[in-house]
Chain A
Amino acid sequence: MTDFLRPATVEDALALMAAGGVVPLAGGTDLYPATQRRALPGLVLDVTGLPGLCGITTGPAGLRIGAATTWTALARATLPPALAALQQAAVEVGGIQIQNAGTIGGNLCNASPAADGVPPLLVLDTEVELVGHRGIRRLPLSQFLTGPRQTARQADELLTALHIPASALSGQSHFRKLGARAYLVISIAMVAVRLDLQAGRISHAALAVGACSATACRLPQVESALTGAPAAEAPALIRDADVAAALSPLDDLRATAAYRSGAAAELLRRSVATLCQPVPA
């Protein structure tokens, strides 16, 4: 049994990975379809049994999500409304069988430009925790994702957790995605929005778009246009041109570039409108 490893501790895992040629396996829902059975490359190391990699904990610094936490566990957890977007994304990843096996860490490490977990985590100012035999480091999610299917993770490092700072746990968030149909297709565009509202005005706005650039990204220009705006006027402040300027969508068989950025702008307007609706008393 040398080609399947299931270490009991992170230290053991890192020692095994230091030798090189080790491929981490979580839910397998990206790795398997990508590589095809029997051709699973090199040594496979199952991370799902590692202590500390599953589950969500809160502390004074914020929230910690273990990298091997499944979509189902995320959806079932009781979390602050700022994480609503992440939970909405969770219940729309594939079918339930995919949600039961697939993990948030696998979604990030696979680094598809259309990964549904990324926009909701970007609006939460998420940092990723990487651990290697040389030590532990943290970097913002935006720096972890370096390109389509590319991350800053070294081959001998494990993604162990995501950290959401306490400062980003305020407000409410919303997620929307658009595909050619609802199920089992790669999204054309997806957005996450987190807003803080104070006395009918937006005091803080965080917006992110996925599937419309090499990696999902925040939209600082649109965010500043929204900051300070009265809630009722907010959707109209999201201009197609500003959204398009922040993105670099592909022209491919699923959609044209212009359609994608137009769709992203409309999804953003709808999400902002949803979050700005007056709460029924």
Chain B
Amino acid sequence: MAITINGTEVPLPEDPRMSLAEFLRDGLHLTGTKIGCNQGGCGACTVLIDGQRVLSCLTLAVQAEGREVTTIEGLSSGDDLHPLQEAFIAHDGFQCGYCTPGQICAATAMLRELAEGMPSSVTGDLSRPAPLTAEEIRERMSGNLCRCGAHNGIIAAILQVAQEGAA
């Protein structure tokens, strides 16, 4: 009865009703994961479960039993930032920073979805890989809101990392 969080096995919370977001923040003090709306609408609580992006506010911690959870704390190693973190800084992809961990976790999964050839609702030609355009990235990041309105910087940062990865 354990979950692996950022590579470390931790026992499940005693209260099976506890959301994964609450467990991460209050149970494990991994406060990088934010809670905005607590009802699925904003994306601030996005984490990765087995590499897939999910909303930790709508997931019970016990539902992640036996699976690998990655939070924003697990993306960097020490002072070595993840390429997306560096790009967010370079492109001013945030202002207050509240949405940023969720944006970066979502973008991490999104880059993998792109690499796997998953289409979005704005991908016209499904027989070819989706083009790396701002429009594609915006569509694919639509589950993450930024109240400060840093979206342009966010899209620019992700686009840069996506293009470097594709090069």
Binding site for B on A (CB under 8 A): 1, 3-4, 6, 25, 27-29, 32-33, 36-38, 40, 44, 46, 48, 72, 75-76, 88, 91-92, 94-98, 100-101, 182-184
Is there an interface contact between A101 and B58, defined as CB atoms closer than 8 Å?
yes
Is there an interface contact between A184 and B142, defined as CB atoms closer than 8 Å?
yes
Query: B30 an interface residue at 8 Å Cβ cutoff?
Result: no
Is there an interface contact between A28 and B58, defined as CB atoms closer than 8 Å?
yes
Is there an interface contact between B143 and A96, defined as CB atoms closer than 8 Å?
yes
Is there an interface contact between A184 and B41, defined as CB atoms closer than 8 Å?
yes
Could you write out 9 A-B pairs with CB less than 8 Å apart? A1-B16, A3-B16, A33-B58, A91-B120, A91-B121, A92-B121, A97-B106, A98-B40, A101-B58
Is there an interface contact between B55 and A101, defined as CB atoms closer than 8 Å?
yes
In addition to A100-B54, A183-B142, 19 A-B residue pairs with Cβ atoms within 8 Å of each other are A4-B16, A4-B17, A27-B58, A28-B60, A29-B55, A29-B58, A32-B19, A32-B40, A33-B39, A37-B22, A37-B57, A48-B63, A88-B121, A95-B43, A96-B53, A97-B43, A100-B52, A182-B142, A183-B143
Query: B81 an interface residue at 8 Å Cβ cutoff?
Result: no
Query: B62 an interface residue at 8 Å Cβ cutoff?
Result: yes
A206, chain B: closest CB distance, angstroms: 22
* A-B interface, 10 closest residue pairs, ranked by CB to CB distance from nearest: A95-B143, A4-B16, A33-B39, A91-B121, A183-B142, A32-B58, A97-B143, A97-B55, A28-B58, A95-B142
Q: How far is the CA of A161 from the CA of B136 in the complex (A)?
A: 33
B101, chain A: closest CB distance, angstroms: 14
Is there an interface contact between A101 and B16, defined as CB atoms closer than 8 Å?
no
Chain B, interface size category, equals 20 to 34
B8, chain A: closest CB distance, angstroms: 22
Binding site for A on B (CB under 8 A): 16-17, 19, 22, 38-41, 43, 46, 52-55, 57-60, 62-63, 106, 109-110, 113, 118-121, 140-144
Contacts of A40 in B (CB 8 A): 17
Contacts of A97 in B (CB 8 A): 40, 43, 46, 53-55, 106, 143
Contacts of A25 in B (CB 8 A): 60
A71, chain B: closest CB distance, angstroms: 11
Other-chain residue from B17, B59, B120 in contact with A38 (beta carbon distance below 8 A)? B17
Contacts of B40 in A (CB 8 A): 29, 32-33, 94, 97-98
Q: How far is the CA of A4 from the CA of B61 in the complex (A)?
A: 11
Residue of B nearest to A37 (CB): B19
Contacts of B43 in A (CB 8 A): 95, 97
Contacts of A92 in B (CB 8 A): 121
Contacts of B144 in A (CB 8 A): 95
Contacts of B62 in A (CB 8 A): 1, 4, 6
Is there an interface contact between A32 and B39, defined as CB atoms closer than 8 Å?
yes
Q: How far is the CA of A67 from the CA of B37 in the complex (A)?
A: 28
